[in-house]
Amino acid sequence: MRLVVRDRPGILLASLGIAFATGCDPSVPDDGATLGSAQAVVAARPASHPLPKRFGVGRAATEADISVLDIDIMPDGTGLPKGHGTAADGATIYASSCIACHGVDLQGTSLGGRLVPAPDVLGFPDGDVPISTKAIGNYWPYATTVFDYVRRAMPLDRPGSLSDDDAYAITAYLLWKNGIVDETAVMNAETLPVLQMPAWDRFIVDDRLGSDRVR
Ligand code: HEC
């Protein structure tokens, strides 16, 4: 950001293309001094009161600070932590932490969306199914995203409260309920990334820059 220091406010307005009957002329050359904003602040201070090197606000982030926030999981599983869980463990967590909003049968309630496709929806034939029918089993391209999303965002009233084992267990439970793994399957950093989701080939990577979008 640049701070433009001018001695006559009228010239600033003029440079924005606003001409006034008072005689301000947009063609008046810019005779103000242009300084970087920090420089301008320093320049405005008397030499007897120099700015301190630091203001004593905040501190450098530690590795521990960063690791709490640096929890994203890539589609290929990069970033998955140690730990494991099965659908049986996940069922217990679901019953205590998720059921109130997502419903007994995972079909959703007024408080939270469905976590399995609606029974009468075949899947994701053309990508044009109404949003309310999109769910893990017919829309999510990567199983690893289930882990990432649930661990960072759910339960909605206590995000971040699930342990890594809890997140693997609830992921196993959701994948089982969506017909993607067996009830006894163990989810961990090795098994989760190799699962192929039903909708995995329904997406393309749009890595173009600019305003065009693939529809
Ligand atoms: C207080 C209500 C509430 C609770 C409890 C809750 N959720 Fe949610 N959940 C929501 C809402 C609301 C959304 C939609 C959030 C959004 O779109 O930003 C959601 C979205 C989701 C989604 C994404 C669904 C999709 O396909 O878009 C998943 C998966 C999910 N929740 C899993 C869980 C799990 C697992 C638990 C328990 C550990 C849980 N939720 C507990 C309210 C809740």
pLDDT for res 131: 63
The CA distance from 128 to 174, in Å, is 23
Q: Is the pLDDT higher at 119 or at 100?
A: 100
Q: Which residues contact 17 (CB under 8 A, 6 or more apart)?
A: 26
Chain length of the chain: 215
pLDDT for res 79: 96
| Lowest model confidence (mean pLDDT) among 49-53, 58-62, 93-97, 150-154 | 49-53
pLDDT for res 14: 34
Q: Is the pLDDT of residue 8 over 80?
A: no
pLDDT for res 140: 93
CB-CB contact of 144 with 76 (8 Å): yes
Q: How far is CA 86 from CA 41, 116, 166, in A?
A: 59, 18, 9
pLDDT category at 35 given cuts 50, 70, 90 is low
Residue nearest to atom 12 of ligand 1 (CA): 112
122-176 per-position pLDDT tens digit? 556 555 666 667 899 988 999 999 999 999 999 999 999 999 999 999 999 999 9
185 class by beta-carbon count within 10 Å (0-12 exposed, 13-18 middle, 19+ buried): middle
Protein residues whose CB sits closer than 6 Å to any atom of ligand 1:
93, 97-98, 100-102, 111-113, 115, 135-136, 149-150, 154-157, 170
pLDDT for res 202: 82
Range among 5-14, 112-121, 179-188 with highest mean pLDDT value:
179-188
Query: Tokens for 13?
Result: 């307005």
CB-CB contact of 65 with 74 (8 Å): no
pLDDT category at 1 given cuts 50, 70, 90 is very low
Q: Which residues contact 128 (CB under 8 A, 6 or more apart)?
A: none
Asked, as a colleague might, if the bond just before 159 is cis with ω within 30 of 0, I would say no
Q: Is the pLDDT of residue 15 over 70?
A: no
Q: For residue 112, how far is its CA from the centre of ligand 1 (angstroms)?
A: 6
pLDDT, average across residues 101-121:
91
Q: Is the pLDDT of residue 192 over 60?
A: yes
CB-CB contact of 205 with 190 (8 Å): no
63-96 per-position pLDDT tens digit? 999 988 899 999 999 999 999 999 999 999 999 9
Q: Which residues contact 168 (CB under 8 A, 6 or more apart)?
A: 83, 84, 85, 147, 187, 188, 192
Residue nearest to atom 11 of ligand 1 (CA): 112
The CA distance from 165 to 20, in Å, is 69
Pocket test for ligand 1, best of 154, 157, 165, 174 (most atoms within 8 A of CB): 154
pLDDT for res 47: 85
